[in-house]
């Protein structure tokens, strides 16, 4: 049985009150979702709001995503850490995957990370995107990992095209500390 923490200063547990999914859901397309939780999040050093994209735009660069890695080859213990991911152009991605990538950012497969995995449902945070919502220190959430490929580009759902849906169309409140944004495979963003 899970025990709830007495204080919200480190761990925060919430119950799901409602899940809002995109109307055209079909994995890996349109698999963003919003979770409404039973009580507000308490922002602190461990839990905080993440600025997310308001624009649908292409740009070059290296973004930060999440990955899981073991510390020793024989260990079953895995650890979550931040990793750099190089964006690849949409045209190159479509050529390699033989599919439309209009709703995705693509990141190159990195051989040096072959002993780790990206987290499906994890955020893709970028800097210097030109998005007006970007925080200069924190960057901005531009994508959510959706489909992780080995030896091919990985797909990250674009957040910008769905900004209006995230901020109000999927639920009634405009600003709500009870909401999380998710991808089909995991949790990523406090709204």
Does residue 172 lie within any of the structural domains?
no
Does residue 179 lie within any of the structural domains?
no
Does residue 11 lie within any of the structural domains?
no
pLDDT value for 158: 92
Q: Is the whole-model pTM more than 0.85?
A: no
pLDDT value for 188: 42
Does residue 119 lie within any of the structural domains?
yes
Does residue 21 lie within any of the structural domains?
no
pLDDT value for 3: 60
Tally of domains within the chain: 1
Q: Which domain holds residue 156?
A: 62-161
Q: Which regions in the chain score pLDDT beneath 50?
A: 114, 172-176, 178-179, 182-191
Does residue 111 lie within any of the structural domains?
yes
Does residue 153 lie within any of the structural domains?
yes
Does residue 88 lie within any of the structural domains?
yes
pLDDT value for 13: 85
We report the CATH number of the domain holding residue 72 as 2.40.10.10
Q: Would you state the structure tokens that stand for residue 68, as one six-digit string?
A: 């899981």
Q: Are 70 and 115 in contact (CB under 8 A)?
A: yes
């Amino acid at each position: 049985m899970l025990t709830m923490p007495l204080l919200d200063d480190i761990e925060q547990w919430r119950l799901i009150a409602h899940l809002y999914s995109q109307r055209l859901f079909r994995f890996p397309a349109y698999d963003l979702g919003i979770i409404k939780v039973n009580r507000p999040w308490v922002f602190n050093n461990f839990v905080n709001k993440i600025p997310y994209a308001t624009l649908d735009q292409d740009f070059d660069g290296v973004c930060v995503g999440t990955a899981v890695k073991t510390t020793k080859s024989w260990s079953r213990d895995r650890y979550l850490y931040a990793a750099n991911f190089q964006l690849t152009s949409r045209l190159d991605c479509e050529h390699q995957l033989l599919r439309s990538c209009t709703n995705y950012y693509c990141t190159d497969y990195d051989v040096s990370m072959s002993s780790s995995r990206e987290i499906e449902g994890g955020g893709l945070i970028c800097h210097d995107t030109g998005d007006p919502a970007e925080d200069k220190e924190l960057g901005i959430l531009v994508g959510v990992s959706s489909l992780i490929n080995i030896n091919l580009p990985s797909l990250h759902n674009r957040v910008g095209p769905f900004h209006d849906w995230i901020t109000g169309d999927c639920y009634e409140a405009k600003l709500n500390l009870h909401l999380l944004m998710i991808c089909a495979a995991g949790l990523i963003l406090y709204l």
